[in-house]
């Protein structure tokens, strides 16, 4: 009788501000899921990112609600509020350690935007983090990658900054965010002030 080797479960952590979550985030997460053969993509909204100058506009509670609304009905997508429950700042290594504790048999990936690649070595405990998780770059820019990590490449010209500006100026965000996210933005009167 031969002993079968069980394949590791493959989980990706997709951290970010998600202020708000939009279709580019979701499309890239789906591409990563299919390209890497992932079992699950976990969206993790940051409380306060140590390398970002400005705090999120929407509260953690509302960003969490928008994420849950955006992925409803997606069996391979999940949301984890661990960074919102911890005191700021949000460090990816703490999140990776928490996910690994709950899924000791899993291979853990970190999905990062191409705008984070140049700052990656400045991340908290980066040398340890690089040994614990496999980085995958989500590239919406179409520019050549600056690191040797695998790249999920899809030219998508949608940004949370643009969405916030459109809301503040009274323009439509239809087709940029899922309808359930748009409903929360309108109901909660988010992003009505012009960004500074």
Residues 59-88 have pLDDT tens digits of: 999 999 999 999 999 999 999 999 999 987
Q: 184 in a domain, yes or no?
A: no
Give residue 79's pLDDT. Answer: 98
Distance CA 48, CA 40 (A): 24
Distance CA 43, CA 61 (A): 14
Contact, 84 vs 47, CB < 8 A?
yes
Q: 44 in a domain, yes or no?
A: yes
Q: What is the mean pLDDT of residues 1-10?
A: 58
Give residue 137's pLDDT. Answer: 94
Which of 91, 84, 87 is closest to 110 using CA atoms? 91
Q: 90 in a domain, yes or no?
A: yes
Query: The domain spanning residue 55 has which CATH number?
Result: 3.40.50.620
The three-state secondary structure class of 99 is helix
User: What is the domain extent for residue 65?
Assistant: 9-156
Residue 139 has pLDDT above 50, yes or no: yes
What tokens were used for 113? 């935007």
Number of domains in the chain: 1
């Amino acid at each position: 009788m031969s002993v079968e080797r069980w394949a590791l479960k493959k989980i990706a952590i997709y951290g970010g501000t998600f202020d708000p979550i939009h279709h580019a985030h979701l499309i890239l997460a789906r591409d990563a899921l299919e390209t890497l053969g992932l079992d699950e993509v976990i969206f993790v909204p940051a409380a306060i990112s140590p390398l970002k100058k400005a705090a999120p506009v929407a509260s953690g509670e509302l960003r969490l609600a928008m994420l849950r609304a955006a992925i409803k009905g997606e069996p391979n997508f999940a949301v984890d509020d661990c960074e919102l429950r911890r005191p700021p700042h949000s460090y990816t290594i703490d999140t990776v350690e928490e996910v690994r504790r709950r899924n000791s048999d899993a291979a853990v990936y970190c999905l990062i935007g191409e705008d984070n690649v140049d700052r990656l070595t400045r991340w908290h405990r980066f040398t340890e983090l690089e040994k614990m998780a496999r980085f995958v770059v989500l590239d919406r820019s179409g520019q050549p990658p600056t690191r040797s990590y695998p790249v999920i490449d899809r030219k998508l010209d949608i940004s949370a900054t643009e969405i916030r500006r459109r809301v503040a100026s009274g323009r439509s965000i239809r087709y940029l965010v899922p309808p359930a996210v748009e409903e929360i933005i309108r109901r909660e009167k988010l992003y009505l002030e012009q960004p500074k």
